[in-house]
Amino acid sequence: MKVIQHTAEELRTALVSNSKDLAKIYSKYTKEERCLLEEGFHSGQPGSLFQPITVHSDSDWISAHPEEPQDFESFYRDSYRRTPDASHNTIYIQTIGSFGEVGALTDQHVEWLRDYCQAFFYGLSVKLLPAVTVSETGCSFRVNSNSNNLQILTGDLLRFLGNKKPKDAFCIVGITMIDLYPEDSWNFVFGQASLSMGMGVFSFARYDDNFYTRGYAGRLKKRIQPRQGDYSVFEGYYTPPITSTLLLRSCKTMTHEIGHMFGIRHCQWLNCVMQGSNHLEESDRRPLDFCPICLRKIHVSVGFKIAERYKALLHWMEEDRCQTSGPETASHPATCFPKPTEAFHTSQQWLCRCLDRLETGNSRSHQTQEQSAQRHAGCTGVEGRSIVLSHIHQRSWRDKRRRESSCTMCSVALQAADKVTLTM
């Protein structure tokens, strides 16, 4: 096990930059926002909101895939990065194939993903396109010779998405519960994207806890060689149940890959949702949100108030657990599905601490023992389901009305980028 501990000065340069123009932009953050962002300089110390990256084995991403670190200045001056503008400010999500055994639950799961994505990229619109079957994409498919489960070809899906991409789209992402492969010589791939075209397709199939077990229900009982164009093999094909863990993994992967669409590379500074991951265990170790350096990257691209974004994410995690899938009628009674957010409990607590920090404006290093205790008391889980906030700070931000934030536009030239095959 190895801890990657950058010095405070290295992290300051990565966040603020030594460039005068970028340092001037940074100075426009409020004192409270700078306090939060600079919390990363104290990573690894008791009570810090941000932690250093820990490499557990040689199979982890950083060890297996050496990359040049991307600080804020590298991102900001990268001609390949993409920024939403007035004409291209919507993220579209296209579901491909079944997303559950029950139709209404499928719809609810995708709505949860959409709403989470809209809170995460606060200020942008996120819309769902009508779901399509595998046959409607016209994609090639196969049975994996090792795992004996169905897989669909990513290149064909990207071509389909390219033809479906609306004119006002910043990007379009296809999501599916069916396993993927990029070419015949590959065993599988979690996803693939064309960054220059602003589109990608990602599978959540391997996020089922049982995927790598002998009893996985997605394994075909008989070894068959399906005929190309005969999509009947997908009728009634198994998709994993919507659990809290699967929802957490889905949200994490979707936002990570959309982050790449902005030009954000894999993070090598602090523990961050933008870290690369080589396997599911490593992916599960990633936090749900950005480190300060990547947060500044997405902030300059989209434009939002940091506190408002955190409130939107917390609201998504804490809103009523039981929602209806549609209007209730005599022939179609409303169906209630509780949102399974138990796996988000740690993130709820972290968001409360961030909001507390933005309210108090106290840095960790300058807090008294009493203030520190008060801050930690301000985010206490109750049965893993709800969050009780410190009465001192609860009214100050929780009762404010949520405000919409408009997108900022940067005059950065967009150039073509190569297609990228993604892991997690």
What's the pTM value of the predicted model, to 2 decimals? 0.82
Residues of the chain with pLDDT under 50: 102, 324-326, 329-333, 365-419, 421
CB 22 within 8 A of CB 299: no
What is the DSSP pairing of strand 199-203 with strand 169-176? parallel
338 φ/ψ angles, rounded to the nearest 5 degrees? -70, 140
Residues 354-400 have pLDDT tens digits of 999 998 866 554 443 344 334 434 343 333 323 333 222 333 333 33
CATH fold group of domain 25-305+415-424: Collagenase (Catalytic Domain) (3.40.390)
What is residue 167's predicted lDDT score, i.e. its pLDDT? 95
Q: What is the DSSP letter of 227?
A: P
Q: Which residues pair with 387 in a beta bridge?
A: 381
Residue 27: which residues within 8 A CB-CB, separation 6 or more? none
Owner of token pair 């138990």: 342
- Joined together, the tokens standing for residue 280 give 């599911």
What is residue 241's predicted lDDT score, i.e. its pLDDT? 84
Domain ranges of the chain: 25-305+415-424
Cite the active site residues: 257
Q: Which residues pair with 94 in a beta bridge?
A: 129, 174
Q: Which residues pair with 125 in a beta bridge?
A: 90
